[in-house]
C-alpha cells in the first residue's frame, strides 16, 4: 500500500510538470533501476522500467513528454496539452486552454474553438458517419433525423431544424424576416422584434412591439401587452387544474392568482407577499433564533410556502416546511433546506455552505469569495474524504480520498478557477514550490521546477540541489555526488567506491571487490546502473 501511494505521489508530481525519482525493483533475480538525468533548467529525464514510466521535461515545465503504460502525455505549455490512451483509443488535446480543444474516440471526433466554432464527426458503424459544424451564430450545418440536412449562414439565409429549442428556424436577411415552428405553433417576425404574428391550431396573435400585442390559444392561454413593459396581462394553463392569472402595472402593481398560489407586489421591488398553498399544510417552525417567526405568523402562514419581500432581492423572508430563507443583506442571509444550509455574514465577507445526506457530506467556508476557501467532502458509506484549502494568490492545499496530500505555491488562478485544464496547462508555469506526501511518510518535493527536489519512500531517500549535491539511499545502497560527480561516493552492500573529477572509475574498497563496469557512472548523467 505504501509503495502504491508513493507511486501515486510521483505520478502526480510528474503530471504537474516535473518527474520524481523512481527507485529500484527486482524482477527475475535481476535489478532494474530507474534512470535520472538532470541538467537544470534545460533537461530533466526520469525512467522506471518496472512501472513502464518515462518522463522528459525541457526548460522546466514548458515541454513535457511522458509515457506510463498505455497512457502518454505531450505538453508544450501553454500552447498545447495532449493525452492519449492507446488501449482505449482515445485522445484529448487542448490548444491554449480554454481557447480550443479536440476529443477523439472510436465513436466520435470533436473540435471546438471557444464553443463557438465546432466540428463534430459521429461514427455510427454500418450507418456511416454523421457530421455537424458551426461557427455560432454565423454558420450552422448539420442533419436532422426528421427533416434531413440543413445549413444556415447568418444573417443572410438559413434553415435550422431541431436546434436552439425550436423544431424549425428559417430566416432571410435577419432581422427583416424570420419564421420559427415549435410544437405546431408558427411565429413570423418582420423587422424583429417589432412586428410578429402567431398562428397554430386554434391559436393566433400579433404584436407591434412595444406599443401593443396579443395572442391566444383556445382553452390553453391568452395574453396581451400595452406599452411594454408597463402593462401586461395573461392567463396560462387554462387546460390544467392550476390556471394562472397574471397582471403587471409596472412598477406600481403586480398580481398572480391561481388555485395553488397568490402573489401581490406593490411599487416593485420594495414590497411583495406570496403564498403558495400547495398541500395546505402548516410549515414547521424552524429551530434557532435566526429563523424565529414573529408572533402571529403561525396564524397567517397556513400554506406550504410564504414569502415576504421588503426590498427584493436584498431584504426578504421565505417560510415553508422544506425551505426557510431570510435575507437582510449585507448584514446576514441564510437558507436552510432539508439537506443543505447556506449562510452569509456581512456580505461578501464570510459565507458557509453545508450539505448533509446519507451518501455525501460537504462543508465549505469562504472569506471574500475566493480570498480564502476551505472545502471538506466525505462519503459516509465507504469512509473516504477529501479536502481543499485555497488562499488566493498564495497557496492551494489538497487531500484526496487515497490520503495523498498536496501543497503548491503560489496560486494566482486555482482558487478562482478550479478547472482541470488550468491544472494541466497553466498552473505548472507559476508553481515555484510543490509537495506531495501521505501519512506513511512518503513524500516528493520540487522547488523551482526541480532546481531542488527530493523523494522519500519508506526508508528510501533521494534528493538533489543542482548542481551542488545529489544523494540517494535505499536498501544496502548509498550514492553521493558533489558538483555532478566532481567528488563521488558509493556504497553497495559494503562494496565502496570513491571517484574524482567525473572519472568513470575510482578507488574501490570494502568486503567485496567490485568490477569497474558495475560501478561506472557516466560523466554528468546522474544515472545508476
Cell numbers at 484, concatenated: 555532478
- Contact yes or no for 175/189 (Cβ under 8 A): yes
- Contact yes or no for 428/14 (Cβ under 8 A): no
Query: What's the Cα-to-Cα distance from 284 to each of 262, 301, 323, 432, rounded to whole Å?
Result: 20, 10, 10, 54
Residue 14's φ and ψ, nearest 5 degrees, are -65, -40
Listed residue (350, 354, 428) closest to 396, CA to CA: 428
Listed residue (172, 167, 131, 124) closest to 149, CA to CA: 131
| Residue 515 CB partners (closer than 8 Å, separation 6+) | none
- Give the separation between CA 39 and CA 22, rounded to whole angstroms: 17
pLDDT recorded at residue 20: 38
What would the 3-class secondary structure string for 108-129 be?
EEEEEECCCEEEEEEECHHHCE
- Give the separation between CA 470 and CA 42, rounded to whole angstroms: 17
Residue numbers in the chain where pLDDT is lower than 50: 1-32, 279-302, 513-529
pLDDT recorded at residue 33: 61
For residue 271, give the 3-state DSSP assignment: strand
Listed residue (324, 336, 330) closest to 293, CA to CA: 324
- Give the separation between CA 447 and CA 461, rounded to whole angstroms: 17
pLDDT recorded at residue 50: 84
pLDDT recorded at residue 419: 92
Query: Counting Cβ atoms within 10 Å, is residue 483 exposed (0-12), middle (13-18) or buried (19+)?
Result: middle
Of the chain, the end-to-end C-alpha distance in Å amounts to 27
pLDDT recorded at residue 36: 86
- Give the separation between CA 181 and CA 463, rounded to whole angstroms: 69
pLDDT recorded at residue 295: 39
Query: What's the Cα-to-Cα distance from 471 to each of 147, 374, 394, 402, 440, rounded to whole Å?
Result: 70, 37, 31, 29, 22
Q: Where are the alpha helices (DSSP H) in 255-362?
A: 297-300
- Say whether the peptide bond before residue 467 is cis (omega within 30 degrees of 0): yes
- Give the separation between CA 84 and CA 73, rounded to whole angstroms: 7
- Give the separation between CA 180 and CA 114, rounded to whole angstroms: 27
- pTM for the model: 0.78
Length of the chain in terms of residues written: 529
pLDDT recorded at residue 286: 36
DSSP characters for 64-93?
EEEEETTEEEEEETTTEEEEEETTTTEEEE
SS3 content of the chain, % helix, strand, coil (to 5): 10, 55, 40
- Give the separation between CA 98 and CA 419, rounded to whole angstroms: 10
Cell numbers at 334, concatenated: 441564510
Bridge-partner residues for 18, per DSSP? none
Per-residue pLDDT tens digits for 287-310: 333 333 333 344 344 458 999 999
For residue 506, give the 3-state DSSP assignment: coil
Per-residue pLDDT tens digits for 313-360: 999 999 998 899 999 999 999 999 999 999 999 999 999 999 999 999
- Give the separation between CA 249 and CA 254, rounded to whole angstroms: 6
Amino acid at each position: 500500500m505504501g509503495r502504491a501511494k508513493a507511486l501515486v505521489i510521483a505520478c502526480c508530481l510528474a503530471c504537474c510538470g516535473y518527474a520524481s525519482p523512481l527507485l529500484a525493483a527486482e524482477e527475475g533475480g535481476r535489478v532494474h533501476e530507474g534512470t535520472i538525468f538532470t541538467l537544470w533548467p534545460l533537461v530533466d529525464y526520469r525512467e522506471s522500467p518496472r512501472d513502464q514510466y518515462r518522463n522528459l521535461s525541457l526548460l522546466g515545465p514548458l515541454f513535457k513528454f511522458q509515457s506510463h503504460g498505455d497512457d502518454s502525455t505531450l505538453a508544450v505549455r501553454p500552447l498545447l496539452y495532449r493525452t492519449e490512451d492507446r488501449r482505449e483509443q482515445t485522445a484529448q488535446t487542448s490548444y491554449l486552454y480554454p481557447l480550443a480543444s479536440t476529443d477523439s474516440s472510436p465513436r466520435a471526433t470533436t473540435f471546438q474553438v471557444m464553443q463557438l466554432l465546432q466540428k463534430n464527426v459521429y461514427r455510427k458503424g454500418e450507418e456511416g458517419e454523421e457530421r455537424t459544424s458551426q461557427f455560432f451564430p454565423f454558420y450552422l450545418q448539420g442533419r436532422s433525423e426528421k427533416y434531413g440536412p440543413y445549413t444556415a449562414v447568418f444573417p443572410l439565409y438559413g434553415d435550422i431544424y431541431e436546434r436552439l429549442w425550436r423544431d424549425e428556424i428559417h430566416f432571410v436577411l435577419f432581422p427583416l424576416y424570420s419564421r420559427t415552428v415549435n410544437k405546431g405553433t408558427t411565429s413570423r417576425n418582420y423587422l424583429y422584434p417589432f412586428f410578429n404574428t402567431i398562428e397554430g391550431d386554434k391559436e393566433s396573435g400579433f404584436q407591434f412591439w412595444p406599443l401593443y400585442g396579443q395572442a391566444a390559444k383556445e382553452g390553453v392561454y391568452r395574453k396581451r401587452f400595452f406599452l411594454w413593459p408597463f402593462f401586461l396581462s395573461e392567463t396560462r394553463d387554462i387546460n390544467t387544474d392550476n390556471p394562472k392569472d397574471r397582471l403587471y402595472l409596472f412598477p406600481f402593481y403586480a398580481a398572480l392568482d391561481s388555485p395553488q398560489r397568490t402573489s401581490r407586489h406593490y411599487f416593485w421591488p420594495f414590497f411583495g407577499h406570496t403564498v403558495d398553498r400547495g398541500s395546505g399544510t402548516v410549515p414547521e417552525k424552524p429551530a434557532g433564533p435566526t429563523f424565529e417567526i414573529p408572533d402571529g405568523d403561525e396564524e397567517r402562514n397556513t400554506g406550504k410556502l410564504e414569502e415576504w419581500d421588503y426590498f427584493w432581492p436584498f431584504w426578504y423572508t421565505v417560510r415553508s416546511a422544506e425551505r426557510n430563507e431570510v435575507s437582510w443583506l449585507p448584514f446576514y442571509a441564510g437558507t436552510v433546506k432539508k439537506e443543505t444550509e447556506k449562510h452569509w455574514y456581512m456580505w461578501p465577507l464570510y459565507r458557509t455552505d453545508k450539505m448533509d445526506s446519507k451518501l455525501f457530506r460537504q462543508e465549505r467556508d469562504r472569506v471574500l469569495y475566493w480570498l480564502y476557501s476551505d472545502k471538506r467532502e466525505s462519503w459516509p458509506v465507504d469512509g473516504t474524504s477529501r479536502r481543499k484549502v485555497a488562499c488566493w494568490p498564495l497557496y492551494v492545499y489538497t487531500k484526496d480520498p487515497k490520503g495523498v496530500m498536496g501543497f503548491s505555491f503560489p496560486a494566482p488562478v486555482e482558487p478562482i478557477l478550479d478547472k482541470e485544464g488550468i491544472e494541466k496547462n497553466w498552473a505548472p508555469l507559476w508553481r515555484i514550490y510543490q509537495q506531495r506526501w501521505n501519512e506513511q511518510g512518503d513524500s516528493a518535493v520540487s522547488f523551482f521546477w526541480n532546481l531542488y527536489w527530493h523523494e522519500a519512500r519508506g526508508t528510501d531517500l533521494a534528493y538533489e540541489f543542482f548542481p551542488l549535491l545529489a544523494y540517494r539511499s535505499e536498501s544496502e545502497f548509498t550514492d553521493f555526488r558533489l558538483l555532478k560527480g566532481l567528488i563521488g561516493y558509493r556504497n553497495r552492500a559494503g562494496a565502496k567506491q570513491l571517484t574524482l573529477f567525473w572519472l568513470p572509475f575510482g578507488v574501490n574498497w570494502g568486503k567485496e571487490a567490485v568490477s569497474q563496469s558495475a560501478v561506472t557512472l557516466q560523466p554528468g548523467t546522474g544515472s545508476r546502473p
